A and B are shown apart, each in its own frame.
Chain A
Amino acid sequence: MTTALFAVAGAVALFASILVVTSRRIVHAALWLVVALGAVAGCFGALHAELVALVQILVYVGAIVVLVLFALMLTKAPTNPLPALTTRRSPFAAVVAGVLAILLGTGVVIAFGNEKIGPVPDGSAEAVGTAVFRTWVLPFEVLSVLLLAALIGAIVLSQRAPKKED
């Protein structure tokens, strides 16, 4: 059952991701990103990581994609299809990505081809919460400092430069 659910969500994620990187309309690519990230959240759910699935929907779909859409709006991104959105080097990029996929894929199949994910206990939120605030509390605090640094950095970057006084 979970395998079928995972396969469906994974197929949707794959299809949407292909459209994210190939769509000729920027806004459509951003909206397909919503579908891709939501489908990956479904994959997390099928692997019994409900908390991560909810955080994924909350942070990625709720915040990051909205930020991307705002940036598209602020940079006056055209809504009509742009053939020049992909560079002339895209066949080479496809070759690089394909070779990487073959290498990683064969490596993964050779290393983990016979392994199976057993039945996972339901309800992982409590375990994750305990882990975050007990085992991983120092990285958690460091991460909050990093978020603060990113916040200050974004504010400083987006400030208009003050006029020079002669």
Chain B
Amino acid sequence: MPLVLPLLLAVALFCLGVYGVLARRNAITMLMSFELMLNAVNLNLIAFDAWRLDGLATGQTLAIFVITLAAAEIGLGLAIVLLLFRGHGHVDADAARDLLETADTAKEIDR
């Protein structure tokens, strides 16, 4: 199997994830796009592991670690999204502007 096949699939999945994070409005769909990007990374790790065969299964071990990290990330992310929903009544990432820094607030902070 040519090595570029899994690598190009990973590139496509990663860029779809980037598009989803930038274009989606709902915070939960943004988190789903993050999962796509992490999967692309895992695909790279597995492909390079199968290519190099270093005897330590480094790529597969790191892929399992990344899956664990993804579980931790989605747990915390969804907790934050639920907090946003409880405070604002929506999960629109564009309308969540509590931390927005305008020229006025920047001046206040400087003072």
Contacts and interface: CB of A to CB of B under 8 A. Distances in A.
B67 A55 contact: yes
Contacts of A120: 50, 53
Given A64-B35, A85-B25, A153-B76, A74 B9 contact: no
Interface string B24-53: 111011011101100100110011011101
B66 to A, nearest CB: 10
Interface residues of A, number: 85
Contacts of B16: 14, 17-18, 20-21, 97
26 contacts: A3-B5, A7-B5, A10-B9, A14-B12, A17-B13, A18-B16, A20-B36, A43-B46, A47-B47, A52-B64, A71-B82, A75-B82, A86-B24, A87-B23, A108-B8, A109-B4, A112-B4, A115-B4, A117-B50, A127-B55, A127-B60, A128-B57, A128-B61, A131-B56, A135-B61, A143-B68
The 4 closest A-B pairs by CB, nearest first: A93-B22, A21-B20, A150-B72, A97-B19
Given A75-B91, A140-B65, 5 more contacts: A13-B13, A40-B13, A43-B46, A71-B81, A154-B78
Interface of A: 2-3, 6-7, 10, 13-14, 17-18, 20-21, 26, 29-30, 33, 36-37, 40, 43-44, 47-49, 51-52, 55-56, 59-60, 63-64, 67-68, 70-72, 74-75, 77, 84-87, 89-90, 92-94, 96-98, 100-101, 104-105, 108-109, 112-113, 115-118, 120-121, 124, 127-128, 130-132, 135-136, 139-140, 143, 146-147, 149-151, 153-154, 157-158
